[in-house]
Amino acid sequence: MNNIWLIVQAVLSVLIIASVLLQTQGGGLGQSFGGGSGSYHTRRGLEKVLYNATIVLIALFAVASIAALITK
């Protein structure tokens, strides 16, 4: 049973990494080093769905981690 939780955690971790990398934060490399403006940005459409999916995936990963500890 513990192997199943490890596989679930591995799949969820790959999905979390992909969802975080797909989220755009504007501007590119110049933005990373403080070259951007500090304007407010509202999430809409696919960006909002991706943001909410990331939160759900992280919550599922936490539940899977706790379940793996309990079934050990």
Instruction: Quick: pLDDT tens for 7-24.
Output: 999 999 999 999 999 887
Q: Is the pTM of this model over 0.95?
A: no
Where are the chain's structural domains?
A: 1-22+43-72
pLDDT tens digits, one per residue of 28-66 = 555 555 555 566 777 788 889 999 999 999 999 999 999
Rg (CA), the chain: 16
Of 66, 51, 63, 67, the C-alpha closest to 16 is 51
pLDDT at 25 over 90: no
